[in-house]
Structure 1
Amino acid sequence: MAKSRQMELSEALALGPNWRHLCYVMLYAPNPGVLFGRIPQRYAVLMQMRFDGRLGFPGGFVDAQDRTLEDGLNRELQEQLGEAASAFRVERADHRSSLSGGKPRVVAHFYAKGLTLEQLEAVEASAPRAKDHGLEVLGLVRVPLYTLRDGVGGLSAFLENSFIGATREQLQEALRDLGLVAQGSFLGPRQPTFQ
């Protein structure tokens, strides 16, 4: 398998008809919740357990009938997350990166979309009734954006799970870039980030 490489979106879109485009999105929302009365949640970030037992973001392949990458992504969100996904739309402005080389003639496009907490909770509630629930998607999970006092539990432990492709790295980069974790936090395994 070839090594993945980042590319500009314009370069990815110019690759031609023999290439397939895979689009997926990190959905997140401000979350004022406090765990155990002392650990601020700050944000809720959704991922999904995939059919293959690995963690990933909701999304899928763009089909021939989709006019744009975002049309394909939003169609996939409806199939995987249910009707609540129609309350928002992932747009070109939400695009973060494009990677090629993970699979032959496939370009993966990563997006991040900020929602309200109410929208995110509606997605969680509607997902079990979605077309692909129990098939392509085994369930949704929130990313713990804290580390427990033991220095292991929370984000550090979560990052030790099995992720599809470059998803772990894309999650870590997005958390940093979007300010969803404290500035300067190390997001590697077994490193404390929050109390």
Structure 2
Amino acid sequence: VGTMAAMGPLPAMSTLPPLPTLGVPGVPELKPLTRYEAMRLGPGWSHSCHAMLYAPNPGMLFGRIPLRYAVLMQMRFDGLLGFPGGFVDRRYWSLEDGLNRVLGLGLGCVRLTEADYLCSHLTEGPHRVVAHFYARQLTLEELHTIEISAVHSRDHGMEVMGMVRVPLYTQKDRMGGLPNFLANAFVGTAKFQLLFALKILNMVPEEKLAEAVAATQRPKKSAIDHAGGAA
């Protein structure tokens, strides 16, 4: 019996709770779907799997700005920011096996399971891609170990230029920190997935996310102005 047949019929839509949405002004909403629905999509669909690794961080920037969490992303070969992961060929791999294979090339020492699954969304554009997203909370020590391991991975300096931590705070100029980070260029659904995870996992209040996104849409200060307001 095939995998899809063994899963049985899809439950009636009336019995399913509504899937969470991002709901942040200025960020286009992507269509959510359940893992079950995603697995029933036909062979014409491609599946991408990416993961957010994060850890509570008690540190204080300048002794007064709470860091809250350390969240890992990557600077890619094309100059875009993204999460570790990639496309998974469903003919040969489960989602998690395919994801772990890619993570092994870029990070080295981490394996995710279905328990780390967070969400799936249909992407915009001409290509039929469903983007699956995973999130794993680690200790700060475990996360630092992964950062060190990533430097020695096969993809470091090739497809991956290095790991970066996402600043989750906003400085008093209302641009420093998360707003400036969000003004960078992101690959595919990475920016949406970052904001979605920060909201769903209660890592940043929704109103703070909305403020950070809105700040990126205001005219930017000059580099000289920024240099004068480091804190």
- TM-score, with structure 1 as normaliser: 0.86
Of 92, 95, 107, the residue aligned with 2:130 is: 107
Q: Deviation at 1:11?
A: 2.0
**Amino acid corresponding to residue 161 of structure 2 in structure 1:** L
In 2, distance between residues paired with 1:180 and 1:4? 21
Query: 1:188 and 2:203 equivalent?
Result: no
Q: Deviation at 1:154?
A: 0.5
Aligned to 1:73: 99
The sequence identity of aligned pairs, in percent, is 54
The unaligned stretches of length 5 or more in structure 2 are 1-28, 217-230
5 Å matches for 1:3-82?
5-63=31-89, 64-66=91-93, 68-82=94-108
> Do the aligned partners of 1:5 and 1:100 also contact (CA within 8 Å) in 2?
yes
Q: Deviation at 1:92?
A: 4.4
Distance 1:105 1:92, change over 3 A: farther
The count of corresponding residues between Structure 1 and Structure 2 is 186
Q: Deviation at 1:17?
A: 2.9
Aligned to 2:168: 145
**Amino acid corresponding to residue 162 of structure 1 in structure 2:** A
In 1, distance between residues paired with 2:203 and 2:189? 19
SS of aligned partner of 1:77:
helix
Q: Deviation at 1:73?
A: 0.8
Aligned to 2:6: none
Q: Deviation at 1:5?
A: 3.4
SS of aligned partner of 1:163:
coil
In 2, distance between residues paired with 1:107 and 1:183? 25
Query: 1:178 and 2:179 equivalent?
Result: no
Higher strand content, 1 or 2: 1
In 2, distance between residues paired with 1:72 and 1:61? 8
In 2, distance between residues paired with 1:180 and 1:21? 27
In 1, distance between residues paired with 2:97 and 2:133? 14
**Amino acid corresponding to residue 188 of structure 1 in structure 2:** V
Which segment drifts farther, 126-135 or 103-112?
103-112
In 2, distance between residues paired with 1:4 and 1:184? 19
The unaligned stretches of length 5 or more in structure 1 are none
Aligned to 2:188: 165
Larger radius of gyration: 2
Query: CA offsets per residue over residues 158-185 of structure 1, 9 Å max, x none?
Result: 0000011222122112112211113532
Aligned to 2:14: none
CA RMSD of aligned residues (A): 2.1
SS of aligned partner of 1:120:
helix
Runs of 4+ in structure 1 over 4 Å off: none
In 2, distance between residues paired with 1:12 and 1:57? 20
**Amino acid corresponding to residue 73 of structure 1 in structure 2:** L
